[in-house]
Structures are given as C-alpha cells and as structure tokens.
A and B are shown apart, each in its own frame.
Chain A
C-alpha cells in the first residue's frame, strides 16, 4: 500500500506543490474536486489546514504538511521532523492602533481568534485571565466592532492589520510549514518514510 500524505487545501498548497515537484515526487494536479487523490507512488488527502494534524495523529495519513501555527493550536501528538522552510508567518497579538493595549489593567480582556487554544495559553501563562472568543475567520474586524479588545491572528505582511487599523503588540509564535509524521508509521513504515523525508529535506534546503 502506498504512503498517504495529508495536505492543506489552503495557503500551504502552492508551497507544498513546489516542494514536492522539486523533490521529484508526485503531486495531485489540482484538477477536479476529488479529495482523495492517488498520484504516482503516493496517495494524497486534501483537507482543511486545521484538520491535517488530525488525519496524521490518527494514522489515516502517514505524514502531512502542516503549519507550525496549526500544530500549536491543535496540540496534535505527531512527529515534526522537518521544517520545510516555506509558509513563513507569525501569530501575533494585535489591537486597535493608537488605543494601546494593557491586559493588566482590565478586569477581563476579550480576545478574538481562530487560534483559541494558543491565545488562551499565551495570556494565561502570563497571568492574565482573558475571555477568548473563537471565530472562524475575518478576525481583524472584531476589535473595531466592539466584539473584542484585541485579536490573536496570523500575519505575513501586516497589510490586513493596517487596513483594519490594528497594530501588532507582540509575537505569540513563529510559524512555517512542517512535515509531520504519524508515530506508528514512523516505525512500522520506516523505510518508505525515510526515503520520502530524505528527498523532501534535500529539496527544502
């Protein structure tokens, strides 16, 4: 049986495509709407970025490509042997520009985020009790509309923040795409996975 690779349909797809092709590995050609795609000696699953670690943790996929931000948020128990170097971004705290941000002065700070778990632990570790409002997207508009005092979200260029009159307060985590591997597959399918890992490592240099 071929190895199964879980991929994000989202922003990491193009980078994954480029990397797999550089490594001389097959890659789904993006046609059609099939989400389980055999290609060459591999089988690909195209799933939501937050779901990639889940498929790998359960062993439905032997390995996958996931952002470090997603790994931190899901807390999935998977191996992370390779930093693939693309998809670099940061998860930051941002608040309305000019308003300042002082969680230590507020009884309750509301934080809007897609990264609820990461946001909660970031503030709790610093001793700030915060209320986290989990949103599925368009997080940047939450402070302006009074839903939250600040947001925890991912930034690449910072343009979206500026357009919504937000400014970065601090970095929560640095992120880039990682190759993740299921713990059992790592041993039970060692030879095949090590071959794949060696090629991806070479191509990501």
Chain B
C-alpha cells in the first residue's frame, strides 16, 4: 500500500492559525473558571498501563500496545481514571478534598459521527472527597459559569441520578442480563420498548409502570415531585431523588434554575457513575457539549476510598457550538512590523532589539521569498 504521504488517517485533527487561536481562547476561558474556583492543574501522562483505564465502556475503544518489557500500555482514552489513580497514588498524603483540573487530548477508536471523534480535547475537573452535595452543587455551578463566560446561549444542564434507575431495577428483581436491554430502551425514552423489555419477567405491575414513567419524567425541576410520589416504594430511588432535589434547589437559589432540567431517563454513561449525572446540551448543537457525574467507588479501585464528582467539556464541541451561535468573534492575526536590512548582521540585530521591546516583528533579509 503506497498511500500518498499527505493523506491523513480518519480522525486525525489539525488546526492552523485562527482556528488554533480560537481554540486556545476557549481553553483559556475555561481554565480561568477552573482556577477561579481554586482547582489545581494536573497534567497526567499521555499513556499508562492499560489496566489503569477502568471504564468498561471505553475498553474496546482504547489504543493499547505492548511495551518492550511485555507490559500492556494504553494511550489515555479519558482523564478521570488517571486523575483517580494519581489521587490515590502520588497524591495519597494530600488531605481531601482535592480539586484538580485538566485540559488535553484523549484518543479513542471511534467511528467519526455526530460529534464523536477519535482525537478529542477535553477540559474538565475532578472534585475528590469533601461534602458530596456541596461538591455536586459546586461542579454544576462551575459548568454553568464556563458556558456563560464562553458566551453560549440556551444551554441546559440535564440532571439525572443513577440511583433512580438502580432502585427501580432492584424493585423489579431483574436478572442482570435483562438490565442492559432495559437500560438501552430507557435511554431512548421508548416506553413501548421498556414494556417489551420487561414482558415475561416477574416484575410487579406497579414497578413496570414506574420504570415506564422514567421515559417521560423529564422537564423542569417540577418533574421531581411526581417522581418522588411515583417511586416512593423504592427507598433507593427516593433517596436518589432527594439528593437531586437538594442539589437542584441549591442551584436554583443561586439563580441558575433557568439552566437546569431534570431527566430521570438519563441512564447513559459509563458504568462507574454512582450518583448525580448530568449532560450539557445547547440550542444549535445536536449532541451534548459535555457532562459529568458522581463516581464514589472509582478511586477506591486504586486504593484510596474517596467519593468524587467531575465533569468535562469537549473543546471541539464547544468550538462548534460557539461558531453556530455566532459567538466566535474573528481573531485576525495582529500585524507585524517588517524588519529587514541588506546587511544580515545589522538586520538581525535590529530584529533582536525590537523583540527586546516585545514588538511583533516579521524578519526578512530582503532576499527572495
């Protein structure tokens, strides 16, 4: 096979000039918000032992390779596993809560469609330890501030809680192999599919009806009230809803209510979430801009039991959203002072002198271009 050397493999990304400047500005805006909430930057390695990356959903999408000593390594497909490992390892003596943020690329084997990419830049943070409800509220407030400062309009943080679905499935007494098919239908808000997935099981009728309601219980925060009533038979689901309500009301009192929605059918996501989950949607973009949630068992996997919550925004998706909403003011390159002289020594001396004054220059020796 002799592909031309200028051919690019599917999914490889390249940004030049203004595109790169716009991305950098988005990144700086988001990082300034993270810093403003006193999060510390972490620059984790590009690769690590493959076993570090815990997310089952990403396992088949991970670029892994064998090192010279025979160990299996992987390019990072996400940041959260790495941050959890570092919090439990190198930072084990640091008292909780730990507030850490990152901004960088991850790679995945991913067919490129509808916002999915194989090379993507994530900007996110992890809040490890501390009071869980306070941390949940903090992370949501940070997510909202990022989008506000970026100038995004019509964005929504859609909140769910994995405990609601888990509680109802428990009450239905479902065999684990049936749960996946059911979850898939709940994720698609497909009530007919939910009924079908539960047909022929021993699940009590009232529980079947309750699970079916997961597909329709979404909307403003008022959707929590009928849910509390409908799911009162499950202590687990009720506790999850109370948690959601506490966090949602706190954010409402901070004036963020207009950005919040409840989506109890939000059961997607990587299997490690244990509590609140949320996705960020906006007008003009057909897929989520970012998302996050609580994962209380992941860090213990690396030897330090520490509840945690985090979220991330996809830089590529944010850029696309802002472009569609006309929020990306052009960033033309500043003009440069031409510095040239027929004598190379005099010319470069002049250039160096102007650079000492931080003047933007373009150096040329007057010869052919």
Residues of A within 8 A of B (CB): 57-60, 77-81, 83, 178, 181-190, 194
Is B286's CB under 8 angstroms from A185's CB?
yes
Q: Are A58 and B114 in contact (CB under 8 A)?
A: yes
- What are some 20 contacts across the A-B interface (CB < 8 A)? A57-B114, A59-B284, A59-B287, A60-B286, A77-B114, A79-B188, A79-B190, A80-B188, A81-B189, A81-B190, A81-B191, A81-B215, A83-B192, A182-B286, A183-B287, A184-B287, A187-B218, A189-B283, A190-B261, A194-B219
A187 touches B114 (CB 8 A): no
Q: Which residues B257-294 have CB closer than 8 A to chain A?
A: 261, 263, 281-288
Cβ of B283 and Cβ of A188 under 8 Å apart?
yes
A80 B189 Cβ-Cβ under 8 A: yes
Give the distance in Å from the alpha carbon of A178 to the alpha carbon of B192 in the complex.
10
Question: Which residues from A are CB-within-8-Å of B113?
Answer: 57
Q: Distance (Å) between the CB of B196 and the closest chain A CB? A: 9
Q: Which of A59, A83, A187, A190 has the most CB of B within 10 A?
A: A187
User: What mask results when residues 87 to 124 of chain B are scored 1 for a CB within 8 Å of chain A, else 0?
Assistant: 00000000000000000000000000110000000000
Complex CA distance for A81 and B215, rounded to whole angstroms: 7
Q: Which residues of chain B have C-beta atoms less than 8 A from A60's C-beta?
A: 286
A183 touching B281 in the complex, CB below 8 Å, given contacts A57-B114, A58-B114, A81-B215? yes
Number of interface residues of B (CB under 8 A): 26
Q: How far is the CB of B223 from chain A (nearest CB, A)?
A: 11
For residue B172, CB closer than 8 A to chain A, the reply is: no
The reply to whether the CB of B227 lies closer than 8 angstroms to some CB of chain A is: no
Say whether A183 contacts B283, CB under 8 Å. no
Interface of A is mostly: mixed
Q: Measured between C-beta atoms, what is the minimum distance from B59 to chain A in Å?
A: 19
Which chain A positions have C-beta within 8 A of B281? 183-184, 186-188
In the complex, which residues of chain B have a beta carbon less than 8 angstroms from the beta carbon of A80? 188-190, 193
Within 8 Å of chain A (Cβ to Cβ): is B247? Answer: no
| Contact, CB under 8 Å: A59 / B286 | yes
